[in-house]
A and B are shown apart, each in its own frame.
Chain A
């Protein structure tokens, strides 16, 4: 089983791949491959997915599990028995749980011995660079105009100066 991520870049089963690419490239890859409908696909993300709303999949083979902590991500990856396991990286999961980076990375590698594992981020950050150390292949794809997506906001990057997502404005009790 193979996926052509971008022209000339093919991912195949039995590998753990780390991919840094603009969101639209990844969303297009997931949406456009009719072949993927035939395989059991697990999409793993955190609380706020940047990709999920753009994915147009109705196949019953496309399954989702969300992890809010690094421990939950570890459990999900270990329990995965899908042909394709796609993990949308969320650095906030590792805030205060840096010790989990190595076990999660190891679990991705283990699952990638039989499945096709894709660990995806739109931009590099410290947890991602540690997670991808055990990857079989690392791909960095830039947009046609050469740009990358804006850095993914982690709780850490907020602390050091990243912008905020819109605050919840409805929590006003009387």
Chain B
């Protein structure tokens, strides 16, 4: 039974692909669970629940242990009424678990996998019919569908009057009956498509039942910035992926979306639209239900009382060693594989093991197979790039599993676990540094789970670290690496670039890597790095200076003649009103003036026409640009590269670098 899609509409609908795709309906009306520390004052309420909602006494298991309470066959509104009536004394469980996910977890089945397959196998067998739709035009502006490219068994272009184009598109979809539709900006186009289809009296055939589920738009916080998720129309029985906006698809491709579905027990339509954080949280929920553990409705178990000094000692985040800026030759980067989840598993860190460390913790138990799968896919992708997408999704899920231990909405998180992880990671990085230095290596830089060292033999160091820490590491060798300075001249923690031993260049934090860098400037820096990538030693880097500088001069000379679109700045906006005049605020205003709806977290693309007057144009209509403004950006990007030549005298030893500071990050 290969489950393609699932939904709850009074019963659980599973869309199963077995040659053809069929819908199987299961009657399923699960209860939620209620625990009252003192049930006696609430006997009237319990009586009503028994008579109205078939409540009955039962015992159930939380991660902290067994509780005696009640099962209640009712929905969220009744659960919320119980909370209020008991003045929030009642503890409720399994109230907000998705019912189709819960059904599958309880029955030991999962999406996107055959019955004999393991959820934790890196191999996904699927034979899905794909159909790609690319609508020409700007999805924020266009309302007409007169030019559409489609790819199924062949490529076709549908062009002409809107009604004919839509009728042709719908006929093709009906005839091909695809399982997966891939469409850039699908979530923006779909409501417009639906509207226009209705206007022309056409039936939109993307859903296998004709019905669509709606996900609401929302803005939310993710790692300190506002993100925006558009509303979505989700078809029944067919996977529709917004290839432009889906983070999971972008990182992991279709295999990544399907793997996320298999692990989390959610249909691919949802996993392609969720963040890695939601995926890891959903995975934990699926695992809890599968293991017969109930999922708390509210996060009410607060941090225990702390003394001031104790809190200051515990809450210090990850460890960093500040690098001395400069260029260094023959550097190895030692990177711990999935350090934080490995610590959770190794140290048995879970909310319930804070008070009872002797117990097997829930979090380590559920993360262990995921970690094992990641280690396998990381190994496999080295020889088979087909595993790269799955590996990427697993990497992101495991990265966020740490953050979720301290996240307010995490079902199985607690801040003490978060602190326990970072505390151990600090010890590990310090120990690793001590081992390296004791073996005669020079430690140049360190950040949370990575250490940059000079010395040899690196394999011996790797073996010693792995033996001591019982954690896996990966080594990347740089022929040379440039650590850039901060404004105050001290070393930046996360801005560097260098040539790896395979001849490729690894960059972090510079213009070529930043999402908001205009393409013209990105291309200039990329060209420079390509030239530098051909130099295997610091001395050769110095020799490439003239060639690299020529690229800069060429970019400066041609800047006035560049296409305005190549100077578009792509930004994710954090707000709609700005107290001070600024370029970003002007861009938001311009979007609004042109009738384009924007929300915090949404991406905008603009070209600066006159920076002094805060005059900007949306990228799609830009014709001219402020040369002086872009010259400044160009010079800044050049500065990041030219620093390699300014500091081409290598800093080869660590002796005398005692001013290197040690810091922690949050």
Contact = CB atoms under 8 A, between A and B. Distances in A.
Interface in B495-534: 506, 508-509
Contact of B300 (A60, A63, A72, A160): A72
Interface in A59-74: 59-60, 62-69, 71-74
A162 B575 contact: yes
A164 B574 contact: yes
A155 interface: yes
Interface stretch (A21-29, A116-124, A135-143, A166-174): A166-174
Interface string A101-136: 001000000000000000000000000000000000
A146 interface: no
A58 interface: yes
A72 B448 CA distance: 30
Interface in B387-419: 395-396, 399, 406-409, 415
Contact of B447 (A47, A93, A170): A170
A161 B573 CA distance: 10
A68 B404 CA distance: 12
Nearest to B304: A65
A155 B221 contact: yes
Contact of B575 (A65, A66, A74, A161): A161
A8 interface: no
A68 B408 contact: yes
B307 A167 contact: no
A163 B226 CA distance: 10
Nearest to B665: A170
Contacts, number: 116
A163 B223 CA distance: 15
Contacts of B224: 164-168
A7 interface: no
A146 to B, nearest CB: 19
B302 A160 contact: no
Contacts of B307: 60, 62-64
A67 B298 CA distance: 13
B84 A75 contact: no
A62 B309 CA distance: 10
Contacts of B600: 158-159, 161
Interface in A87-103: 93, 99-100, 103
A76 interface: yes
A170 B306 contact: no
Contacts of B494: 169-170, 172
A1 interface: no
A55 interface: yes
B625 interface: no
A115 to B, nearest CB: 15
Contact of B308 (A55, A103, A173): A55
Nearest to A155: B221
Nearest to A43: B308
Nearest to B219: A159
Interface string B541-558: 000000000000000000
Interface string B298-331: 1111111111110100000010000000000000
A75 B225 contact: no
A168 B448 CA distance: 14
Contact of A174 (B304, B415, B506): B506
A47 B408 CA distance: 9
B87 A68 contact: no
Given A63-B305, A65-B304, A167-B224, A161 B578 contact: yes
Nearest to A166: B224
B88 A103 contact: yes
Contacts of A74: 88, 300
Nearest to B335: A174
B305 A42 contact: yes
Contact of A58 (B303, B308, B576): B308
B174 interface: no
A71 B297 CA distance: 11
Nearest to B400: A171
B48 interface: no
Contacts of B306: 63-65
A71 B298 contact: yes
Contact of A172 (B221, B301, B409, B508): B508
B220 to A, nearest CB: 8
A64 B308 CA distance: 7
A58 B223 contact: no
A41 to B, nearest CB: 10
Contacts of B452: none
A75 B318 CA distance: 29
A50 interface: no
Nearest to B302: A72
Given A58-B308, A76-B302, A171-B223, A158 B448 contact: no
Given A57-B308, A160-B577, A71 B299 contact: yes
Nearest to B601: A159
A99 B408 CA distance: 17
Nearest to A76: B302
Contacts of B579: 163
A67 B506 CA distance: 40
A159 B602 CA distance: 11
A60 B300 CA distance: 26
B399 A171 contact: yes
B303 A65 contact: yes
B493 interface: yes
Question: Taking each of B80, B306, B396, which has the highest tally of chain A beta carbons within 10 Å of its own beta carbon?
Answer: B306
A174 B335 CA distance: 10
Contacts of A62: 307-308
Nearest to A103: B88
Contacts of A173: 395-396, 399
A75 B226 contact: no
A158 B88 contact: no
Contacts of B304: 65
Nearest to A62: B308
B88 A64 contact: no
A172 B399 CA distance: 10
B496 to A, nearest CB: 11
Contacts of A103: 87-88
Contact of B226 (A59, A60, A66, A158): A158
A167 B225 contact: yes
A25 to B, nearest CB: 20
Given A66-B415, A99-B84, A171-B399, A158 B305 contact: no
Interface in B69-120: 80, 84, 87-88
Contacts of A165: 224
A64 B311 CA distance: 8
Interface in B457-496: 493-494
11 contacts: A63-B308, A64-B307, A64-B308, A68-B406, A71-B298, A103-B88, A161-B576, A161-B577, A170-B318, A170-B494, A174-B506
Ordered nearest first, which 5 A-B pairs have the shortest CB separation? A161-B577, A68-B408, A72-B302, A167-B224, A71-B300
Interface of A: 42, 47, 55, 57-60, 62-69, 71-76, 93, 99-100, 103, 155, 158-174
Given A64-B311, A164-B224, 9 more contacts: A93-B408, A103-B88, A159-B575, A161-B575, A161-B577, A163-B574, A169-B494, A169-B509, A172-B494
